With several copies, the nearest count.
Chain A
Amino acid sequence: MKDNLYKYILGIADNSLILGQRMGELCGHGPSLETDIACTNISLDLFGQVRSYYQYASKIAGDGRTEDDIAMLRKEREYLNVLLVEQPNNDFAYTMARHFLFDVYHFLFLTELQKSKDLTLAAIATKSLKEVSYHQRFSSDWIKRLGDGTDESQQKMQTAIDFLWTYTDELFHQTEADKAMVSEGIGVDVTKLKQAYYSKVNSILEESTLIIPESKYFQKGGKQGIHTEHMGYLLTELQYMQRAYPNMEW
């Protein structure tokens, strides 16, 4: 139970950690000051959530590891985030498409997590939900602007959506920890979110005059710690200080 709960928390937290890190990369390099502020803010929200989760995970693990140890001192194969969130900021369309495809899930997930029997998780969910509701509005708006903007932006957004689409299915894969936590009334049954997810996503894509991809093939592996080649580079940066200066306080 303890082990499953710990893993379950990491599965949630790692998504926000890696996505937050990706958003943090953009700081000062966005297409406008307003988007820079918004992206920094979203990154900030995500890292805030991350801290709550890892602090809780640290308590559950009870082996003296701190939130930073858990966030920054695991091996790549031990990060449990979905592949979607680690995809790079190729351009602003990728950034927004990645965010949108995660936000819709994130919102549905947290809505359910609020009902968790685990009161800490439920409380984090409630607090995070307000933030994620804003994230979802922000990224959806950009899907619409870019999808139903100029020919160039539409093409770029379609390319991004097509590329990232194959990473959406993994959001609804159940891990062993998931199953155990669902049966305890603690975890969310992600398989049940799938329909609402695609229905919401598809309606926004349609409104944005974008084509809904028809791929039958999807990628997976992140939840088992098998990541894309982008992940390693992200981690070299995330972990650098903790690795280079071990056991220090900052």
Chain B
Amino acid sequence: MSEEQVKNLEKQFEERIARDEKIEPKDWMPEKYRQTHIRQMSQHAHSEIVGMLPEGNWITRAPSLRRKVALLAKVQDEAGHGLYLYSACETLGISRDELYEQLHSGKAKYSSIFNYPTVTWADMGAIGWLVDGAAIINQVPLCSTSFGPYARAMVRVCKEESFHQRQGYEIMIKLANGTPEQKDMAQDALNRWWWPSLMMLGPTDAESIHTEQSMKWKLKRKSNDELRQQFIDQTVPQADLIGLTIPDPDLKWNEERQSYDFGEINWDEFWQVVKGHGPMNKERMKARVGAWEGGEWVRDAAMAHAEKQQERKEKQAV
């Protein structure tokens, strides 16, 4: 293709997006669009999969059968999200094995929040309430992103996430209204998850890359700082409602902005965790790589069995 032809295609492509048309896998797209989507969608998929671990940590110890069932269902949903996000990636011509390889080698990232340990049962509440809460704020705009498979996956993901978020908040309500020990447990979880949740919404705009292009492709509609403010403004009243205290002495309602002012985020910690030195980075990768390598003989067997079955069928057909 001549350079001009490419330019022309690119123009048409950008116009389609501007008209809010969906891009489908078979459509022509710029290589950078493809790569950016693989990167973002797989990062999202990996986050779902790695995100199963901190919650999976409490399945065997859930305090009641009802909570155990709900937690299992939630973790299953996350695996499901992972599954259709990987599928969406695969429509762009990359295999699941390649995606796993990127995760396991550290080339691909996943949400840093999952590198914190789940220390008490209340963390199941805090994760649902705060982490899923922040995730929704990140993801809702993606329901109308330009790439069709991603947008459609996001509609389903957001619906389920919002259920998880309510479920998490409900755990916190129960604890906050419980015995003093339970209330302490809830407050402690909020203390530990608050700042990492704020960091989840990404580096400050000043340090954020990819933003302009992403805006154009509708991969992003608001800046990280705007999303963070939205999250805070939404969450603080929820904490107030159940009598928990946000662990930020600088947090204050700003009448003028009609928004909360808040304290400084420890970006050193953020970058330490992103770079692989968070409390649980090594353990998370060990668990994922361990599952993958330990399961190789199983996948090989399934493949071998399928081939044998196929051969038998063919022989019978002869």
Cβ-neighbour of B182 out of A40, A150, A221, A245 (below 8 A): A245
A29 in contact (CB, < 8 A): yes
Nearest chain B residue, comparing its CB with the CB of A24: B59
Given contacts A148-B308, A232-B61, contact A29 B279 (CB under 8 A): no
Nearest chain A residue, comparing its CB with the CB of B67: A250
A144 and B294: CB pair below 8 A?
Answer: no
Query: Which residues of A17-54 are within 8 A (CB) of B?
Result: 21, 24-25, 27-37, 40-41, 43-44, 47-48, 50-51, 54
CB-CB under 8 A from B301, the residues of chain A are 145-146, 149-150, 152-154
B181 in contact (CB, < 8 A): yes
CB-CB under 8 A from B120, the residues of chain A are 76-77
CB-CB under 8 A from B297, the residues of chain A are 150, 152-153, 156
Query: Which residues of B164-180 are within 8 A (CB) of A?
Result: 171, 174-175, 178-179
A184 in contact (CB, < 8 A): no
A202 in contact (CB, < 8 A): no
Bound Cα distance A91, B305 (Å): 19
Nearest chain A residue, comparing its CB with the CB of B307: A149
A241 in contact (CB, < 8 A): yes
A134 in contact (CB, < 8 A): no
Given contacts A24-B60, A27-B56, A242-B63, contact A43 B119 (CB under 8 A): no
Q: Chain A, 129-162, contact with B by CB distance < 8 Å: what is the 0/1 string?
A: 0000000000000001110111011101000000
A43 and B298: CB pair below 8 A?
Answer: no
Query: Which residues of B65-110 are within 8 A (CB) of A?
Result: 65-69, 72-73, 75-76, 79-80, 82-83, 86
Tell me the interface secondary structure of chain A in the complex. Answer: helix
Tell me the interface secondary structure of chain B in the complex. Answer: helix
A118 in contact (CB, < 8 A): no
Bound Cα distance A126, B298 (Å): 33
- Choose, from B28-36, B130-138, B227-235, B283-291, the stretch at the interface: B283-291
Q: Is the interface on chain B under 10, 10 to 19, 20 to 34, or 35 or more residues?
A: 35 or more
Q: Which of A91, A145, A217 has the most CB of B within 10 A?
A: A145
B272 in contact (CB, < 8 A): yes
CB-CB under 8 A from A176, the residues of chain B are none
Nearest chain B residue, comparing its CB with the CB of A51: B65
B295 in contact (CB, < 8 A): yes
- Choose, from A1-9, A185-193, A222-230, the stretch at the interface: A222-230
CB-CB under 8 A from B80, the residues of chain A are 37
Query: Which residues of B259-318 are within 8 A (CB) of A?
Result: 272, 275, 277, 279-280, 282-283, 287, 290-292, 294-302, 304-306, 308
Closest 7 CB pairs of A and B: A31-B295, A149-B301, A153-B301, A217-B277, A241-B63, A31-B298, A28-B52
A/B interface sample: 10 pairs, CB < 8 A: A24-B68, A25-B60, A40-B72, A47-B72, A145-B301, A166-B277, A217-B275, A228-B280, A232-B119, A241-B63
Chain B residues close to A by CB (< 8 Å):
49, 52-54, 56-57, 59-69, 72-73, 75-76, 79-80, 82-83, 86, 117-121, 171, 174-175, 178-179, 181-182, 188, 192, 272, 275, 277, 279-280, 282-283, 287, 290-292, 294-302, 304-306, 308
Chain A residues close to B by CB (< 8 Å):
21, 24-25, 27-37, 40-41, 43-44, 47-48, 50-51, 54, 67-68, 71, 75-77, 91-92, 144-146, 148-150, 152-154, 156, 163, 166, 215, 217, 219, 221, 226-229, 232, 234, 236-238, 240-242, 245, 248-250
